[in-house]
Chains A and B, each alone.
Chain A
């Protein structure tokens, strides 16, 4: 099993450019989410999804769009990149949407984005 796969691993953008961070999982997980990690701030939830066609906002959704057309894929779109979006982005998934019992979030390897 590949688990949670994120691409690209590194990306440099100029202010105003757009791009999509890809996330795919092969574990048939219903729950998928995007976090950003900044120094001294831990991980903050951007958007999450509980199944195909269903998405919702997290703590820091501004400047980001998501969609969930299939169970496997959950891309994160930056429509007009800003330097404040320089961060490391993690995609994570779980079998259970309520994270019940011993269900944990499984994380991808991360995508490091720099916006100049």
Chain B
């Protein structure tokens, strides 16, 4: 059974600081997603990482994937308050004709002024 772990679960950081969220998963997969969720809202897709060594960047967020280590990171550069949200990684597991997405527990990011 695929397990996906994120750490930290909660992160409070000051504006302007850098930090990294980690996502580990237990079985082989070649696709990983990062989603953002604002309080009381739905999930918004941020990145799709499709292969080993993949790196995607959007603004102050950069995601990478190491399939050999079964690890993805979401790096935050010079955090701003607008990045406050919960971030989820999700890993694809293939089952015959369909795939299932297994989510991590989420990292709640709070950026303070």
Contacts and interface: CB of A to CB of B under 8 A. Distances in A.
Contacts of B99: 97-100
B97 A50 contact: yes
A98 B50 CA distance: 13
Interface of A: 31, 33, 35, 40-45, 48, 50, 56, 58-59, 90, 92, 97-102, 104-110
B101 A101 contact: no
Contacts, number: 61
Interface string B86-111: 00101010100111111111100000
Interface in B10-33: 31, 33
B92 A45 contact: no
Contacts of A97: 97-99
A104 B45 contact: yes
B100 A102 contact: no
A40 B42 contact: no
Interface in B28-81: 31, 33, 41-45, 48, 50
B85 interface: no
- Central interface residue in B31, B41, B94, by most chain A CB within 10 Å: B31
Nearest to A108: B42
Interface of B: 4, 9, 31, 33, 41-45, 48, 50, 88, 90, 92, 94, 97-106
- Central interface residue in B9, B90, B94, B101, by most chain A CB within 10 Å: B101
B102 A104 contact: no
Nearest to A44: B103
Nearest to A112: B40
B33 A58 contact: no
Contacts of B33: 104-105
Contacts of A108: 42
Contact of B98 (A48, A59, A104): A48
B98 A50 contact: yes
Nearest to B4: A42
A58 B100 contact: yes
